[in-house]
Amino acid sequence: MTITAEAKPTIAWLGLGIMGQAMAANLLKSGHFAQLLVWNRSADKCDALVAAGAVAVGSPAEAVARADIVFGMLSDPKAALEVALGKDGVVSAIQPGKAYVDMSTVDEETSTQIAAAVRAAGGRFLEGPVSGSKKPAIDGQLIILAAGDESLFKDCAAAFDVMGKRSLFLGDVGAGARMKLVVNGTMGAIMTAFAEGMALADKSGLQQSDLLEVLGLGAMASPMIALKGPALVSRSYPPAFKLVSQQKDMRLVLALGDALDQPLPVMAAANEQFKKAKALGLGESDFAAVYEAAVHGAGGGSGGQA
């Protein structure tokens, strides 16, 4: 069923972490649906959306049974597989006419496995990982990287317009997963190099604020540097995109490189820095906390917020 102003289906949202909470909230405010059902493994995370008008359900299977289109936003491949294929999962209730859009960041193998199970049960499947973190999610400015059932992509156009500033259809299932991993691998490598540059500036007696100004005025100016620079200066890392999630994406993109015999030495080195920051207890901090790996590598201080 197409989500339009004229035809308002019931939709469901599975997974209410940092990203899912903001994306579901935007759908709830949009008015493009008859009802929004919500589910999360920790049920208390549904409370804010329920207070705003959503309806909590007891399982992914119940969400599928009651909704026309179900969206998922899970933390990692293990969680995505469990929600889709586990007991009372999405696939257990899929039947012809039902549709599942998995917006989690997972590897191609995971996405393909979920797609096959959904389709075998007669449903439609679309992968739709997103480029963007907490603020773009709140602002509805994500970039949606979709692949799979093109008719479902078209049916979700209005919902994607609420959540994002651009949605791309990339072809068969797996293309969205690959694109997201390439994007996040590149982002992780850039963030790691930026952190090292900031650490080097400080160590050499330069003002980090001056470096940020120079970077902001030149060809390397970017929203990420402008946004994360102050966090590095203050060594405070409230999570917009958790470091543990970034390291998971680095691991997945390196596996993709291995499968394709594509050397990724820079991303591999960046992954080691994210692993080091995670070992410092910073996994739940923002991924900008990789700066602490650079500082500790140089014999720096005690680190930022965990």
Report helix, strand or coil for 52. coil
- The C-alpha R_g of the chain, in whole angstroms, comes to 20
Alpha carbon distance 223, 210 (integer Å): 17
Task: Count the residues in the chain.
Answer: 306
Sign of CA pseudo-dihedral 277, 186, 181, 148 = positive
- As beta bridge partners, residue 130 has 144
What's the CA gap between 107 and 184, in Å, rounded?
Answer: 12
CA distance 80 to 64: 15
Q: Are 67 and 21 in contact (CB under 8 A)?
A: no
| 143 residue type, one letter | I
3-state helix, strand, coil in the chain (%, to 5): 55, 15, 30
Q: Which residues are catalytic?
A: 180
Partners of 39 in the β-ladder: 14
How many whole angstroms separate alpha carbon 232 and alpha carbon 198? 8
CA–CA separation, 247 and 263 (whole Å) = 18
User: 102 pairs with which residues across the strands?
Assistant: 72, 127
306 Cβ contact partners less than 8 Å away, ≥ 6 residues apart: 281, 282, 284, 285
